[in-house]
Amino acid sequence: MLAANYPEKALEWIALKRADLTDPDYRQDYLAYDQAYDWDPADPRLERLADSMAARFVQLHRHPAVADPEVAQLRQVVRYLGREEGAARRR
């Protein structure tokens, strides 16, 4: 989906993702985020994961790609979809 909407940026984002995945802490968070889909909302692991992801987000703001307006727009879409999916799961 990303490559279809942003073909000129897709290769750059793939390279960034591959670089991120070489970091063991990032891989751990990435896998935990996927597993968290099935966790109970009261699961204490969610708070630890949220803290870790927030710290990583702060680090990402230091990367030049974060200043790209298309990346900012994409993040807004992802946040919106996450809220909608979360709302649908709670219904």
pLDDT (tens digit per residue) in 44-56: 888 888 888 877 7
pLDDT (tens digit per residue) in 4-14: 888 888 888 88
Q: Which amino acid is at 39?
A: W
| Positions in the chain short of pLDDT 70 | 60-72, 75, 81-91
The whole-number pLDDT of residue 68 equals 63
The whole-number pLDDT of residue 84 equals 52
The whole-number pLDDT of residue 64 equals 58
DSSP for 14-36, please give it.
HHHHHHHTTSHHHHHHHHHHHHG
> CB under 8 Å to 49, separation ≥6 — which residues?
29, 32, 33, 36
Tell me if the pTM is above 0.75. Answer: no
